[in-house]
């Protein structure tokens, strides 16, 4: 029986990351970027201004296509911090196949 891309858990299927929703609290500005395999391509997402108490979960548009996707979140200022309680990635299969060999 042939394996389909949906049942494949090895990451060969091409994925489309459309949005990212974060439940984050902290102080400062959270800068986040998505990367493909070996950082060949990357996309900086809109910055998120954080607050110590927050009743919202902002959704950021990503529009990124790759086989595997890494998400980096960071702050760059002194005394800035963040605590992420939840990350929701809105993804779907972009292509039923794989990249050609």
Whole-structure pTM value: 0.76
Split at pLDDT 50, 70, 90, the class of 82 is very high
- The residues, any chain, with a CB within 8 Å of residue 33's CB and separated by 6 or more, are 42, 43, 44, 45, 71, 72
**Per-residue pLDDT reduced to its tens digit, 2-52:** 444 444 455 578 889 999 999 999 999 999 999 998 999 999 999 999 999
> Is residue 64 a contact partner of residue 52, using CB atoms and an 8 Å limit?
no
């Amino acid at each position: 029986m042939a394996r389909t891309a949906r049942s494949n858990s090895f990451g060969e299927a091409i994925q489309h990351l459309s949005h990212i929703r974060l439940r984050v609290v902290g102080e400062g500005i959270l800068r986040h970027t998505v990367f493909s395999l070996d950082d060949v391509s990357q996309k900086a997402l809109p910055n998120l201004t954080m607050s110590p108490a927050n009743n919202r979960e902002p959704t950021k548009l990503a529009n990124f296509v790759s086989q595997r996707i890494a998400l980096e979140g960071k702050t760059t200022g002194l005394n800035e911090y963040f605590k992420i309680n939840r990350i929701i990635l809105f993804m779907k299969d972009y292509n039923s196949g794989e990249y050609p060999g």
